[in-house]
Amino acid sequence: MSTDNATARRVEIIANQSIEEDVIDRLTRAGHGESFTYMRPVYGRGSAGRREGSSTWPETNVMFVVYLSVKEARILQESMQSLKETFPREGIKVWISAAAES
């Protein structure tokens, strides 16, 4: 199925584990507190540094995936931007892509 005209969006959020409850709170306030996929720990490297869960790089990330309408995705993106402004030193990234159920 083509996603060219998809009305759904896949929102991926990767954040430092220290703010995972804040991300869940934002998802809950947006009405999606019971409808997301949640993975932890998530390891990686990015502009905020390494997250490997090791003695050298002890922090880890968490990842959320949620499927929303275009409007809901935009609202969640704005909420995550606000969260990023609240915690500017913690890594948080949001990716939004077209999605279609097959």
Residue 32 covered by a domain: yes
The pLDDT of residue 3 is: 45
The pLDDT of residue 91 is: 86
Residue 2 covered by a domain: no
Give the tens place of pLDDT for each residue, 14-39. 999 999 999 999 999 988 888 999 99
Residues 63, 13: Cα–Cα separation, whole Å: 6
The pLDDT of residue 5 is: 57
Number of domains in the chain: 1
Taking alpha carbons only, the member of 48, 72, 73, 69 closest to residue 60 is 48
Give the tens place of pLDDT for each residue, 38-65. 999 999 888 777 888 888 888 999 999 9
Residue 40 covered by a domain: yes
Residue 57 covered by a domain: yes
Residue 49 covered by a domain: yes
- B/e letters for 24-55, b = 16+ CB within 10 Å, e = fewer, are bebbeebebeeebeeeeeeeeeeebeebbeee
Domain of residue 76 covers: 8-99
Residue 45 covered by a domain: yes
Question: Residue 30's domain is classified under what CATH number?
Answer: 3.30.70.120
pLDDT higher than threshold 80 for residue 10: yes
Taking alpha carbons only, the member of 16, 29, 100, 31 closest to residue 64 is 16
Residue 3 covered by a domain: no
Residue 56 covered by a domain: yes
